[in-house]
Structure 1
Amino acid sequence: MDAAETAQTLIELTRLEAQVAELKGRVAAHADDLRVGQEVGASSAASWLAHTTNTTRPAAAGTVKLGHALEAHPLTRDALAHGDVLLDQARVIVHAVDQLPGGLDAQRAEAHLLAEAQHHDAKALRVLGKRLFEVIAPDEADAREAAVLEAEENAAAKACHLSMYDDGHGKTRGRFTIPTIAGAHLRKILLAAITNTKDPAPRPTPERLGQALCDFIARYPKNKLPHTGGLPATLLVLIDEDSLQGRVEKAGVLDTGEKISPALARRLACEAEIIPLVLGGDSMPLDIGRGRRLHTKAQRYALLARDHGCRADGCDRTHSLHAHHKTRWADGGHTNVKDAVTLCHWHHQRAHDASYETTYLPNGDVTFHRRQ
């Protein structure tokens, strides 16, 4: 292709991406309405889509959410379906219109932003979306703005949000949203931590703030940790004795599945309580038969060390896990590690749901299928 053909092809491909995004969102919303994935125990159509297509859960949930949002905004849906606006522009338009209070001409506001989308990208549209009052209700603009600001302040405490993910290269990334007062408090704590370093004139660079946050997490009082699944929210590091003693170099494994270097594991061992864990050995009471129904703390640690998260096929949850008897206690099951498996709250409910058939696979995974 020559330069002109290449340029035109890129433009057409960009329009095609928008059209496919609209179609995908529409079908995903329909799948959510039909509760696709329920027959295999998926908690939602988005979870099923993520597992089946190897899509990240946030991306799959975003597709379903977009499909439902476009149902309420047919003008934007049609524009996206024809490739007249891009996906990020459509998201901005839908969000801006949804923020308008009742009683205003939302359709007129949507049409205005769609027209502006022909001349502005998503970033500029976001700014224009905050000034819709000046277009559709200019006489009320000031009063409306004051009301919006007050509503935002009142809702700040409910807007808390935190998302984190491991990038697979030794780093965890994330984003959070907290009220201004909480943000100011956190910043003051981190700045104080930086000031207490040996540097006579420390600068609050992003790197220093990140290091201060890590120190704050590591030094959180142990006696104030919340409990989940019968255990304190303590990070469990699994490492062979030979590696701990430095005789071999073998990576340590966290109970959440991530790996760390043996050097880091040994450094943590110098500062933390060491709990010896011998799976299947005599060092811990891992099998207490029918003596009690609930699993002991030692058994729960052993299960975390073995399973590294919920063992339901396709589930990636690694926190707030339950110890589940494969053979029900009421049916004569024993409280031990061999006859137990870790499941998240959702899949633990499925395991006790008579409408599902539960299958325990040889590799330790658990599958669920709705009974006919």
Structure 2
Amino acid sequence: MAQHTDTPGSGHPIEAFLCTVLDELKGLADVPTWSMDAETTSRVVGLGARVAAGVAELEARSIRHAETLDLPDTAGCRNLARWVQQATGVTRRTARTKTRLAEALADLEPTRAATARGEIHAEQAQVIADHLGRLDDEKVSVHDQARAEAFLLEGARHGHDADALATLGHAIWERLDPEGADEREAKALEAQEERARRRTRLTMGDDGQGLTHGRFTIPTATADAFRKQLHALAAPKHVRAEHGAGSYDWQKPSAERLGQAFVDWVEGYDPAQLPKIGGLTATVVVVGDYDLLQGKLKAAQLETGTKISPTQYLRLACGAGIIPAWMNASGEVLALGRKHRFHTPAQRLAAIVEQRHCQHHSGCDVPGYLCHAHHDIPWAQGGGTDLRTTKLYCPYHHTRVHQPGKEPMHAWPGALPTMGVRSRGPT
């Protein structure tokens, strides 16, 4: 057995055990796994999971004790999870998970003991705690809570993983109150769906390498519908029909097939089915010039400024949600003279392509589709609705350019010599 030499300790049994485990792990770092047969490998993986569960329980118990000792406050941390993050170097998300487990196991002795013995995983313990917590909210008796805990522990020991255990948790009331189980389940589902709606999220970020990464959290019922739509687009029959025989590579990972299906779903969606944004349908404008018509290899770009290849440009120009825009030699959209007071969708679209964002001198970067179309010379003062005399301003700056005292004279588009003259109504 390896000797513990590099971590000073108090001699407490828990600390001494963990130090010994660390030393033993160091001794195994270079031991090859090729010498294990199939049965041994299976047993080792299972044993590793059990040991991890037991260590997770020890860690959770210690985290709970840290709160009892008021260590977060002593260290100046705003909460226990932040202290765990500081003490261990894990991410905030992982620290919150560890803290939740510590809180969950504190009041569930049978579940804690089963985790400590490596009989169930930490994630199974957390699911049990979550379901029992809902029972506590409904003021279920201590006896019935104990029955529910035993029921879920039995399921965990018999091979139900955390997801299956969560499904099993919905059947608790069939045991505790068979007659009222249906009504309780319906109410619980309504509450769950409301929580899901409140927690719905989507985030996206460009990595600068031609890819955008994102995360989303949506209600499970919606995810089921979305998954089915993507599976339809990723089905071999559909892919072969779209791209020809031999185009479907079964060796590609499922995640890649679904990712390609997601791209097809976005590009093929009819924007006419969506609400208008900035007075226009939610179309993406791809911008090219005459050189592309002559076969020159030259980059095109989206209205957002994202550059794309000429091949991608020509492909997107055929899509349902795409509008191609051709520019003249000066990089301008062809003039669209109009005699109407309000800018037409075509004029707004052309302005967005040319200007892209709010044109205020401060450098405002609000996207063009969220801006107002402003007359350089107000309609009430004889100005016409023409693309050449149109500026895009976000709502905030559009208000400012109509308030003489808010903007310097040189920044006032179309400012007239008589500063007291103002247009009546929107421009």
Contact 2:72 2:83 in 1 (8 A): no
Residue 327 in structure 1 maps to residue 367 in structure 2? no
Q: CA RMSD in A?
A: 4.1
Q: 1:114 to 1:340 in 2, by over 3 A?
A: closer
Give the structure 2 partner of residue 266 of structure 1: 314
Residue 197 in structure 1 maps to residue 239 in structure 2? yes
Give the structure 1 partner of residue 228 of structure 2: 188
Give unmatched runs, 5+ long, in structure 2.
Answer: 1-69, 110-128, 139-165, 167-187, 241-247, 414-427
Give the structure 2 partner of residue 245 of structure 1: 294
Give the structure 1 partner of residue 350 of structure 2: 302
Contact 1:321 1:343 in 2 (8 A): yes
Shift of 1:295: 1.0
What CA distance in whole angstroms lies between the structure 1 residues aligned with 2:82 and 2:253?
A: 42
Shift of 1:210: 1.2
Identical-residue share of aligned pairs (%)? 34
- Partner SS state of residue 250, structure 1: coil
What CA distance in whole angstroms lies between the structure 2 residues aligned with 1:352 and 1:296?
A: 22
Contact 2:205 2:213 in 1 (8 A): yes
What CA distance in whole angstroms lies between the structure 2 residues aligned with 1:337 and 1:279?
A: 17
Contact 2:278 2:370 in 1 (8 A): yes
Aligned pairs for 1:341-356 (under 5 A) are: 341-352=391-402, 356=406
Shift of 1:220: 1.0
Contact 1:194 1:202 in 2 (8 A): no
CA deviation map 1:67-98 (0-9, x unaligned): xxxxxxxx99977xxxx47xxxx6xxx6xxxx
Give the structure 1 partner of residue 34 of structure 2: none
Shift of 1:207: 1.8
Contact 1:351 1:358 in 2 (8 A): no
Select the residue among 164, 176, 192 that pairs with 2:216: 176
Contact 1:280 1:286 in 2 (8 A): no
CA deviation map 1:116-155 (0-9, x unaligned): 5564434542123324654887799865345599555422
Higher relative contact order (CA 8 A, sep 6+): 1
What CA distance in whole angstroms lies between the structure 1 residues aligned with 2:192 and 2:402?
A: 42
Give the structure 2 partner of residue 211 of structure 1: 260
Shift of 1:213: 0.5
Which protein shows a greater Rg? Answer: 2
What CA distance in whole angstroms lies between the structure 2 residues aligned with 1:174 and 1:286?
A: 38
Residue 125 in structure 1 maps to residue 167 in structure 2? no
Contact 1:295 1:323 in 2 (8 A): yes
What CA distance in whole angstroms lies between the structure 2 residues aligned with 1:332 and 1:294?
A: 14
Q: 1:160 to 1:345 in 2, by over 3 A?
A: farther
Contact 2:358 2:364 in 1 (8 A): yes
- Partner SS state of residue 391, structure 2: strand
Shift of 1:301: 2.2
Q: 1:359 to 1:233 in 2, by over 3 A?
A: farther
Contact 2:351 2:387 in 1 (8 A): yes
Aligned residues: 259
Give the structure 2 partner of residue 254 of structure 1: 302
Shift of 1:341: 1.2
Residue identity matched to 1:287: G
Shift of 1:216: 0.8
Contact 1:309 1:317 in 2 (8 A): yes
What CA distance in whole angstroms lies between the structure 1 residues aligned with 2:130 and 2:316?
A: 57
Shift of 1:362: 11
Contact 2:286 2:324 in 1 (8 A): no
What CA distance in whole angstroms lies between the structure 1 residues aligned with 2:381 and 2:343?
A: 16
Give the structure 2 partner of residue 165 of structure 1: 205
What CA distance in whole angstroms lies between the structure 1 residues aligned with 2:331 and 2:256?
A: 45
Residue identity matched to 2:298: K
CA deviation map 1:15-73 (0-9, x unaligned): xxxxxxxxxxxxxxxxxxxxxxxxxxxxxxxxxxxxxxxxxxxxxxxxxxxxxxxxxxx
Select the residue among 336, 339, 343 that pairs with 2:386: 336
Give unmatched runs, 5+ long, in structure 1.
Answer: 1-74, 95-109, 364-372
Q: TM-score w.r.t. structure 2 length?
A: 0.50
Contact 2:289 2:331 in 1 (8 A): no
Residue 357 in structure 1 maps to residue 376 in structure 2? no
- Partner SS state of residue 223, structure 2: helix
- Partner SS state of residue 239, structure 1: strand
Shift of 1:350: 3.9
- Partner SS state of residue 174, structure 1: strand
What CA distance in whole angstroms lies between the structure 2 residues aligned with 1:330 and 1:358?
A: 22
Shift of 1:357: 1.6
